Structure 1
Amino acid sequence: MLKIRQKLFQLGVSALFISSTVYADDTIEFNKGIPKLQAKSYVLMDYNSGQVLASLNPDQRHYPASLTKMMTSYVIGSALKQGYISNDDKVVVSENAWGAKFPGSSKMFLNLNQKVSVADLNRGIIIASGNDACVAMAEHISGTQKEFINVMNQYVKKFGLKNTHFATVHGLDDPNQYSSAYDMAIIGSRIIRDLPEEYKIYSEKEFTFNKIKQNNRNGLLWDKSMNVDGMKTGHTDEAGYNLVASANNANTRLISVVMGVPTYKGRETESKKLLKWGFANFETFKPLQAGKSIAEQSVYYGDKNKVHLGSFTDSYITIPKGKQSQLKARYELEGKVLKAPLVKGQVVGKVIYQLAGKDIASANLQVMEDVMESNILGQAWDWGVLTVKGLFN
């Protein structure tokens, strides 16, 4: 029964994948006046719009260290959401997951053959950054670490990450394991969006197990100058100090990633600089509301003459503060005209946002209702109309 569950879970990877309908355009200059950071690479991303507000070497490959545990956490959270495992499941700690196997590195301090709940192990991964807990959960879900890593890399592919590959479940350095600041921002955003119950754990400041209390290593959770509610730290000698952090302010949520910072406290200092700069200089709003029609367009060869166009998902856009009144929008169809049949939700074009004369973002334009083909007479009439129009184009 366990093997059946494991196979089904691996096949179910695609079930939670949702593609974004908002696309940022790199033609606008967002990162003027950005503070200088001591990091080998960094990214500041708006969570809702996906717009990268500032970056340095965003696609450069680095050892992710314990940032790896974010993908481990995603796999666990997905398994919980899909019902393949439950928080009350008891996991028996194997020889591989025994805390003694990880001397000198972060761990939950698991004892050999100890029975531990999934809920505790999950917190041991996210809060205490336990390498031992990662192995225990990998074996519980997939049977072996190798099979669990395969699932992690399936998600890498589904998320479209170009500079990430996992070779461990915990993040200890491996020559075949790497990620980038941009890819880590995407993984962070997917946890927040897809797995809100999983993300809540990232805000917890401490975790006690086996009478050992460990604080969350993300020191920004204690910073009262901004509302940081996640995410994850990482460090090895090769990786340096890494931190993915997320904070929200009014209607804006930002995700920062710093990699290769030289000091422990520096990763917090540099992340804070990025987040504060982002909140001070940008704002995010929702110009396109899910389910709301924005235009009515003629349609040919159909049982209707007009069709409503809009979007079935909210779209967000991030712009410099004070520029909202200057924002313009237009929509463009993929073809010259719309022709039946059309299916509700079908993408037929794009809404394009423009600022200072430059296209800065776009969103999919969708048909809001079905349009069936008309009868022969109706189609003949529309053919004639289009033929006449073609003479004047």
Structure 2
Amino acid sequence: MWSRMLIAGCALTLMSSLSVAVPRPAVAQPQPAGAVVLPPQGPAQAWLLADLDTGRILASRNPYEPHAPASTIKVLLAMVVLDHLSPDNFARANKSHTQVECSCVGLKPGQPYTTRQLLSALLMVSGNDAANMLADMLGGQRIAVAAMNRKAATVGARATRASSPSGLDGPGWESITTPHDLAAILRAALSYPLIAQIMRSPSAPFPGKTLTNQNELLTRYPGDLGGKTGFTNLARKTYVGAAQRGNRRLAVVQMYGTGDLYGQAIGLFDWGFSQP
């Protein structure tokens, strides 16, 4: 079962150069000094545990295997938005923003929304309507997606191809990424203070309502720094998140999952923090 597992001691980092998006075969390595048990297996077909600050991969299974990201790709959109828009910029929603498969935050045509409010809707409740509106504020979906792909390459996620701002699947516009790339994207995104603040906030004000963060680890795992869930029929369940214990920060990525990804993430965080 563990013949495809990469364990600590390897020289991989999140900034390793990828020339093509081809899965790399994993080779079993000895357990790191002081390890009591192997990192926990779980329902995600491809996953990765990494040190968020150094980029070192501590353990993984199929870390370069390409899958659809679902809504985890919204973390990439959030960075592009803050590269081009002020948090206090605002625009009015229109009907086209709401014509999208949900999950949605429930934008009201004619209502003004700030960039900050839309980012909260994007990252906390995975609003596909918010993703559409933010893409329009960037100049339209085609421009937004092109900017997302340039940003992915810049942060070392060279096997990533975004085809929609929300991560929704559709004929001719399937997005692709890998656990390695999602970890690199999260690592870069958490360097944006507003993204980090939104992702670790349990709730946020929004016109007409209060948003509640969908990331259950905020309340289930002490030290959780935030995360992003996703699901489509093509991607199955996906998750990317980070946690801190003392001075150590770790990132977990899970892709193509079917069961309790939160339980597996907790096990991976616990295992990672137990390592020397």
TM-score range, shorter chain: 0.7 to 0.9
| CA-CA distance at 1:114 after TM superposition | 1.9
Q: How does 1:159-170 map to 2 (within 5 A)?
A: 159-170=155-166
Aligned-pair identity in percent equals: 26
C-alpha separation in 2, matches of 1:177 and 1:116: 27
Structure 1 unaligned regions, length at least 5: 1-23, 80-84, 282-320, 322-393
Aligned to 1:164, the other structure's residue is in SS state: coil
Contact 1:59 1:180 in 2 (8 A): yes
| CA-CA distance at 1:162 after TM superposition | 3.1
1:40 maps to a residue whose letter is Q
Contact 2:157 2:181 in 1 (8 A): yes
CA RMSD of aligned residues (A): 1.9
C-alpha separation in 1, matches of 2:212 and 2:199: 12
Question: Please, what TM-score do these two structures have when normalized by structure 1?
Answer: 0.59
C-alpha separation in 2, matches of 1:246 and 1:39: 17
Q: Do residues 150 (structure 1) and 155 (structure 2) align?
A: no
| CA-CA distance at 1:90 after TM superposition | 1.8
Q: Do residues 25 (structure 1) and 11 (structure 2) align?
A: yes
| CA-CA distance at 1:220 after TM superposition | 0.2
C-alpha separation in 2, matches of 1:94 and 1:30: 55
| CA-CA distance at 1:190 after TM superposition | 0.4
2:11 maps to a residue whose letter is D
C-alpha separation in 1, matches of 2:217 and 2:190: 17
| CA-CA distance at 1:241 after TM superposition | 1.1
Residue number in structure 1 paired with 2:24: none
Contact 2:48 2:254 in 1 (8 A): yes
Q: Do residues 44 (structure 1) and 40 (structure 2) align?
A: no
C-alpha separation in 1, matches of 2:91 and 2:121: 13
CA separation of 1:124 and 1:47: change in aligned 2, threshold 3 A: same
Residue number in structure 2 paired with 1:96: 96
Q: Do residues 221 (structure 1) and 181 (structure 2) align?
A: no
C-alpha separation in 1, matches of 2:216 and 2:144: 30
Deviations 1:125-152 (A, max 9, x none): 11111111111111112x1110011100
Deviations 1:266-320 (A, max 9, x none): 1111111110100011xxxxxxxxxxxxxxxxxxxxxxxxxxxxxxxxxxxxxxx
Could you list the structure 1 runs, at least 4 aligned residues long, displaced by more than 6 angstroms after superposition: none
Answer 1 or 2: higher relative contact order, Cα 8 Å, separation at least 6: 2
| CA-CA distance at 1:163 after TM superposition | 2.0
Residue number in structure 2 paired with 1:277: 271
Structure 2 unaligned regions, length at least 5: 1-9, 13-26
Q: Do residues 261 (structure 1) and 261 (structure 2) align?
A: no
Question: Please, what TM-score do these two structures have when normalized by structure 2?
Answer: 0.83
Q: Do residues 60 (structure 1) and 65 (structure 2) align?
A: yes
Residue number in structure 1 paired with 2:178: 180
CA separation of 1:62 and 1:190: change in aligned 2, threshold 3 A: same
CA radius of gyration, larger in:
1
